[in-house]
A and B are shown apart, each in its own frame.
Chain A
Amino acid sequence: QVQLVQSGAEVKKPGASVKVSCKASGYTFTSYGISWVRQAPGQGLEWMGWISAYNGDTDYPQKVQGRVTMTTDTSTSTAYMELRSLRSDDTAVYYCARGGRSLPGSMDVWGKGTTVIVST
């Protein structure tokens, strides 16, 4: 079945970086893109950006531009999101979700989420 399996929880100190992985299976990875969405404790959903697994195009919101990098490894059908210069307000559950190949679009398959805690 179509699924996205994310890496495990992370605890980081302020100023550090975190890299979360999302391994896809059950579909042709390069026919879609991957969006990343985060959810701070008790809060709503925030889009962190998108990458096309077809050609590597990316789209990041200005809020995280310069701190986030999304990549894919088509040989392993895995997407990655790296967030740098972590702050306490980056503490959240980070989800990857399958999106469009050429544009982010709707997100029809989601990973279970990766908890990232930023704390001294």
Chain B
Amino acid sequence: DIQMTQSPFSLSASVGDRVTITCRASQNINSNLIWYQQKPGKAPKLLIYATSSLQSGVPSRFSGSGSGTDFTLTISSLQPEDFATYYCQQNSSTPLTFGGGTKVEI
């Protein structure tokens, strides 16, 4: 199984900050990397697929980059509604696997 490791586990930031979350795969997954946002008590929401493609309706302050084993989610200017937990997921091969999550706090 492909292991996905996210860092940091959590971070504190302020509105307007630039935030970067990293995700590392245990083997090459090419560009098969997805990012989700989850708020407490809610289902995850798809943000980015295929490493850098923004899902329809997702604000452009979210962006993704990387390839192979190392990937990044960037929020260019953090907004109040962005405080949440973010998960990466690989869909290079099954079983699909998720990172452990990064909680973005005020």
B91–A104 touching, CB < 8 Å: yes
A110–B44 touching, CB < 8 Å: yes
- The residues in A between 56 and 113 inclusive whose CB is less than 8 angstroms from any CB of B are 59, 61-63, 95, 97, 103-108, 110-113
Q: How far is the CA of A4 from the CA of B59 in the complex (A)?
A: 23
B101–A107 touching, CB < 8 Å: no
The yes or no answer to A46 lying at the interface (CB within 8 A) is: yes
A-side interface residues, number (CB < 8 Å):
23
Chain B residue nearest to A45 in the complex (CB): B98
Tell me the interface secondary structure of chain B in the complex: loop
A107–B46 touching, CB < 8 Å: yes
A106–B43 touching, CB < 8 Å: no
Chain B residue nearest to A109 in the complex (CB): B46
Query: Besides the contacts A45-B98, A104-B91, A107-B36, what 16 more A-B pairs have beta carbons closer than 8 Å?
Result: A37-B44, A45-B38, A45-B89, A47-B96, A50-B94, A50-B96, A61-B95, A62-B95, A95-B44, A97-B44, A103-B91, A106-B49, A107-B44, A107-B46, A108-B55, A110-B45
